[in-house]
């Protein structure tokens, strides 16, 4: 058995590139012994042996890195019982390369397990005879073949030569029909000939009954062999054997052998090995060579076949669930709401501005304070104005004395001049009085100060017309929503909605849209339109500047439209900009 395992391991290590070491362990998990190693003279790496033991213990494929390379190990089973493991050390390669190596190793294990299951442990050191060496040789050559067609041609030619067959034919299932793919001693053949039709019928007869067929019949087994009988009669074959080729449990084709005499038991054993293992290799090659459309067709056909056949209840239930979901998306209607960020503002607001240039002398209120109409908010420095007023008061007194003297002397001309100067001084005094009054900043209405804090700006200069305070009323508020550009087309005046504020999340506030402002603003990389709405009822807890989320009720829409209309609009816009 050591010679068999050593030969098999050498073939695998030569077939799988970048292998630096290989090891086969045999026995129970507690009593493992090396059965073969590659290279033969190499001392197995302890990490490689540990990886093989882990694969046997856990009964799964183990893949792990190591300082010397990458380790992969696959458990080995005999009669459905764990009996060992095969481990390889690879040089560094990508994940796809490691997966390919694992697949090749699993394919090769089929041969090793089948051969070991029919050999006694006492014959471990006996050399392989040429007939039993045939499967390993064929596997190696089939793996090296460049395509599925080349592998099929090689298989039928080698079997015809090694087993002394008059003709060996191989056919694969394609869209429910058997098509002859390879014919020994004949590379070029026409599918329309009578021979091809007879071979396809014989292979289909075996696949329909899901069993191998031998003609002439040996014993009574209840199987039908009409196509085999006709093939033997018309082609002059004395003995026929057709066995299905499988990829796991699924039949993918058939192999037909024509001989002048029946195969002996050892030859039949080799043929059965091929029927159990070569089908998976050919199917993998064929799928790899198909176009993406062909692979999609095969996958869909296999899925549909499992759907309409017996069993597969999970797949059928999943399909029913998908159909029910699609029906619900197409029929069921749900409320369509436009969601937008919202804030509370005063319905009206008044500002307090600096009526003249000056400096801040005192500040009696700031943002957040509740004020009453006429309350002093801040004062400007009026010392210069007071001095100016004293100047004009003294000037007026001087003009008054001169005016009285002119009256006493009956100087009419001087009286007129002094009277005009006195009126000028009085006007200057009144102007300064008004400026002094405006230096006191008073609240114009009852409300909250929503903007303005001069407490940290005492002594700072202000300019004429500069906004110092903004006051919002106490009771009259409005909702301002920032609606995204893609949703604003659905918003119209008169629509209703609900608002939930961050400070009052448990109290929904109803509102009605009053105005859609046709001015676009940008923020956070998005475009928004300002939508103003009126609250249906106001709460005492409301304050200007509160923020939350508002939802505007648009109407009823289908559920599918609600879920996918944004994606559909984006795709439609992209397609229009790209292709039209």
pLDDT in tens, 333-366: 999 999 999 998 877 767 788 878 888 888 878 7
Please give the CATH number for the structural domain made up of 131-295.
3.30.450.40
Asked if the domains 2-128 and 131-295 are classified in one and the same CATH topology, the answer is yes
pTM, full prediction? 0.44
What is each CA distance from 244 to 122, 173, 178, 259, 382, in whole angstroms? 33, 11, 11, 18, 111
| Other beta carbons less than 10 A from residue 173's beta carbon | 19
| Other beta carbons less than 10 A from residue 572's beta carbon | 10
Closest listed residue to residue 88, CA positions, set 48, 57, 50: 48
Average pLDDT over residues 493-499: 92
Among 195-199, 208-212, 467-471, the range scoring the smallest mean pLDDT is 467-471
> What is residue 448's three-state secondary structure?
strand
Instruction: Name the strands in the sheet holding 31-38, side by side, starting at the edge strand that comes first in the sequence.
Output: 31-38, 19-28, 81-90, 69-78, 62-66
125 phi and psi, to 5 degrees?
-90, 0
**Boundaries of every domain in the chain:** 2-128, 131-295, 350-469, 476-579
Cα gap 158→222, rounded to integer Å: 32
Cα gap 424→418, rounded to integer Å: 10
Cα gap 271→281, rounded to integer Å: 15
Is 516 in contact with 491 (CB distance < 8 Å)?
yes
Residue 30 has pLDDT above 90, yes or no: no
CATH 3.40.630.10 fits 476-579, yes or no: no
Q: pLDDT per residue over 527-548, tens digit each?
A: 999 999 988 887 778 877 889 9
Is 460 in contact with 515 (CB distance < 8 Å)?
no
Residue 125 has pLDDT above 60, yes or no: no
Residues written for the chain: 580
% of the chain residues with pLDDT over 70: 91
pLDDT of residue 122: 43
Instruction: Name the strands in the sheet holding 440-442, side by side, starting at the edge strand that comes first in the sequence.
Output: 440-442, 376-380, 358-363, 461-462
∠ CA 188-137-109, rounded to 5°: 115
pLDDT of residue 8: 81
CATH 3.30.70.260 fits 2-128, yes or no: no
- Cβ contacts of 331 within 8 Å, gap of 6 or more: 558
Mean pLDDT, the chain, whole residue set: 82
Closest listed residue to residue 404, CA positions, set 419, 386, 391: 419
In b/e form, how buried is each residue of 369-403, taking b as 16+ CB within 10 angstroms?
bebeeeeebbbbbbeebeebbeebeebbeebeebb
Beta partners for 496? 512
> What is residue 298's three-state secondary structure?
helix
Chain-centre distance for alpha carbon 484: 25
Is 79 in contact with 117 (CB distance < 8 Å)?
yes
- Cβ contacts of 513 within 8 Å, gap of 6 or more: 491, 492, 493, 494, 495, 496, 497, 531, 532, 533, 552
């Amino acid at each position: 058995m050591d010679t068999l395992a050593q030969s098999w391991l050498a073939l695998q290590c030569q077939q799988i590139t970048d292998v630096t070491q290989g090891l086969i362990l045999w026995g129970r998990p507690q009593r493992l012994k090396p059965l073969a190693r590659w290279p033969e003279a190499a001392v197995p790496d302890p990490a490689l042996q540990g990886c093989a033991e882990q694969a046997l213990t856990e009964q799964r494929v183990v893949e792990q890195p190591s300082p010397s390379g990458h380790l992969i190990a696959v458990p080995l089973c005999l009669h459905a019982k764990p009996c060992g493991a095969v481990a390889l050390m690879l040089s560094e390669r990508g994940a796809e390369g490691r997966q390919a190596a694992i697949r090749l190793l699993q394919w090769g294990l089929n041969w090793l397990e089948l051969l070991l299951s029919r050999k006694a442990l006492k014959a471990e050191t006996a050399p392989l005879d040429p007939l039993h060496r045939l499967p390993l040789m064929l596997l190696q050559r089939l793996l090296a073949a460049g395509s599925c067609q080349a592998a099929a041609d090689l298989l039928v030619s080698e079997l015809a030569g090694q087993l002394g067959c008059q003709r060996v034919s191989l056919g694969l299932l394609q869209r429910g029909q058997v098509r002859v793919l390879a014919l020994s001693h004949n590379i070029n053949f026409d599918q329309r000939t009578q021979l091809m039709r007879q071979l396809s019928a014989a292979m289909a007869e075996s696949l329909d009954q899901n069993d191998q067929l031998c003609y002439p019949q040996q014993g009574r087994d209840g199987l039908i062999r009409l196509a085999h009988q006709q093939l033997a009669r018309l082609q002059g074959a004395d003995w026929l054997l057709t066995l299905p080729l499988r990829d796991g449990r699924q039949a993918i084709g058939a192999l037909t052998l024509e001989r002048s005499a029946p195969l002996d038991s050892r030859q039949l054993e080799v043929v059965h090995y091929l029927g159990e293992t070569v089908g998976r290799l050919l199917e993998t090659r064929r799928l790899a060579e198909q176009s993406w459309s062909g692979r999609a067709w095969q996958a869909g056909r296999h899925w549909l076949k499992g759907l309409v056949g017996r069993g597969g209840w999970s797949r059928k239930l999943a399909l029913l669930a998908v159909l029910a979901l699609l029906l619900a998306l197409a029929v069921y209607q749900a409320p369509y709401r436009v969601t937008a960020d919202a804030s509370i503002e005063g319905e009206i607001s008044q500002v307090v501005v600096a009526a003249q240039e000056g400096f801040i002398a005192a500040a009696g209120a700031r943002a957040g304070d509740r004020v009453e109409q006429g309350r002093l908010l801040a004062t400007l420095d009026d010392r210069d104005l007071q001095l100016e007023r004293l100047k004009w008061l003294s000037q007026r007194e001087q003009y008054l004395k001169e005016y009285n003297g002119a009256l006493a002397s009956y100087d009419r001309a001087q009286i007129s001049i002094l009277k005009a100067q006195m009126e000028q001084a009085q006007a200057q005094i009144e102007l300064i009085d008004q400026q002094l009054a405006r230096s006191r900043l008073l609240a114009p209405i009852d409300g909250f100060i929503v903007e303005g804090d001069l407490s940290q700006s005492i002594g700072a200069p202000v300019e004429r017309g500069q906004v110092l305070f903004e006051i919002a009323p106490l009771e009259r508020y409005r909702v301002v929503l920032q609606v995204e550009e893609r949703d604003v087309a659905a918003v119209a005046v008169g629509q209703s909605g609900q608002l939930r504020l961050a400070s009052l999340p448990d109290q929904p506030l109803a509102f009605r849209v009053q105005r859609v402002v046709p001015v676009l603003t940008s923020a956070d990389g998005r475009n928004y339109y300002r939508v103003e709405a009126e609250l249906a009822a106001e709460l005492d807890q409301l304050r200007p500047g509160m923020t939350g989320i508002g939802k505007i009720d648009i109407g009823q829409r289908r559920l599918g439209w609600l879920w996918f209309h944004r994606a559909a609009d984006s795709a439609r816009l992209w397609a229009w900009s790209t292709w039209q």
